[in-house]
Amino acid sequence: MTSGNVVLITGATAGIGRVTALRLARAGHRVFATGRRRDALASLEKEAAGTGLEAFPLDVTDAESIARAVAEVNRRTEGYGLDVLVNNAGYGELGPVETIDEARVRKQYDTNVFGLLAVTKAFVGAMRERGAGRIINVSSVGGRVTFPLMGVYTSTKHAVEALSDALRIELRPFGVRVSVIQPGAIATEFSATALDTVSGLEGSPYAPLASRVDEIEGHFSAIEVGPEVIAAAIERAATSRRPRARYVAPFSAKLVLLLTAILPTSLLDWVYGRLTGLRRHALRPSPSEGALGAS
């Protein structure tokens, strides 16, 4: 067996998960990289040839898939299980809370919250019985700050924060440590996918926002950094003798949290409105226009 920890990472087919899997495997850990896209997993295994990385499918929203993953880990580790579980699988759709279809809301919660919880419950028992282990939940700066057009997504990350806080206290007596990673703007497929959903506003009261997608994307792009920054934070949480409860990265994310804490809510609301175009004159006709239309 490869020296180091036995680590399982969900959502390892792209972005933060993929970069983290490669980083940990090259550092000498035995890494089980999981996800739904078999072609991406095969590509990852090929890139990591010669390391302790092994890949197999895992859909965090499927109970049978989770059970198969547990059995596979136990088989490959001869019943030992995991030292570190990295709950990274997640995605987001942007848009006003009012316009996001209920099925899409539930789908985000199924992956970001219920899937994370199900995978954690499936693997934590062995850690607790052994008296050692790490659970690392990839949240978001949006788990502490709510942004307009990201209400549903950030609500899932607020839930992850609450679950992580409870788990950290509940599992500490059993030697299991829980940490949260709070990424800010990261240059991955996640950002592009999320921003694409903003354009689906035609016919709604928020239709004027569709023309601002490129501008909103520009705001994010200006402060984005590569996923390597987050992979480094995950490695610290996995290997530090005394892991912190929260790791915030990059620096811009720390700045956002600081400003949110010290600025008046009314001022923050104004800033968010300016950045997104969520302003009265931009979304509603003026009284004179309404009167002309009624005559």
pLDDT given for residue 99 in this prediction: 87
Q: Examine the residue annotation and report whether 153 is marked as an active-site residue of this protein.
A: yes
CA dist., res. 217 & res. 40, Å (int): 26
Report yes or no: 247 and 180 within 8 Å, Cβ to Cβ.
Answer: yes
pLDDT for 66-106, tens place per residue?
999 999 999 999 999 999 999 999 998 888 898 888 999 99
- Name the catalytic one among 80, 109, 153, 247: 153
3-class SS string, 198-239: HHCCCCCCCHHHHHHHHHHHHHHHCCCECCHHHHHHHHHHHH
DSSP character string of 260-278 = HHHS-HHHHHHHHHHHHT-
pLDDT, tens digit (0-9, with 9 covering 90-100), for 159-193: 999 999 999 999 999 999 999 999 988 876 655 56
Dihedral sign, CA of 220, 221, 227, 232?
negative
Q: What is the pTM of this model?
A: 0.89
CA distance 230 to 60: 21
Structural element, H or E, at residue 176:
strand 176-183
Tokens of 11: 């959502």
